[in-house]
Amino acid sequence: MTETYATNPASSSSAERTWALTAHLGGPAGILLSAGLFGFAVPLVIYLAKRDDSVFAGNQAKEALNFQITLFLLHALIWLFVIMTLGIGILVVWPFLISLWLGELVIGVVAALRAYGGTKFRYPLTLRMIA
């Protein structure tokens, strides 16, 4: 099943693209400001506010929210592993944590720029929990 990811930039308004940009950048901002706990907060608020008003902004907020939920679950599994190994596991997972944070930052910025340009962005390796 193939899906097209690009839309005509003229089909989404400037306001819709700005909301999509904010949803994508809200994840990395939330992660940085809350030590990895609340990256899903901004995409969730935008998704709930815009899902009925704007197809483009709602779709992009949903994509960002699914990505943030996936990252939250990965972080929870990592910290569960660290707790179960009585802290020794941090020696194993710290490179993965750093690469996860950097990957989220880079992918979030790329997604935001593409959404602001009017192109739908679909995150790779993401659980689609919100359909």
Domain encompassing residue 39: 12-116
Residue 32 lies in a domain: yes
Give the pLDDT score at 119: 94
Residue 18 lies in a domain: yes
The three-state DSSP-derived secondary structure of the chain is: CCCCCCCCHHHCCHHHHHHHHHHHHHHHHHHHHHCCCCCCHHHHHHHHHHCCCCHHHHHHHHHHHHHHHHHHHHHHHHHHHHHHCCCCCHHHHHHHHHHHHHHHHHHHHHHHHHHHCCCCCCCCCCCCCCC
Counting residues of the chain whose pLDDT is more than 70, the rounded percentage is 89
Residue 1 lies in a domain: no
Summarize pLDDT for 16-41 with one digit per residue, the tens: 999 999 999 998 888 778 766 788 89
Residue 5 lies in a domain: no
Residue 130 lies in a domain: no
Q: Residue 8: is its pLDDT beyond 70?
A: no
Residue 124 lies in a domain: no
Domain count, the chain: 1
Mean pLDDT of the chain: 88
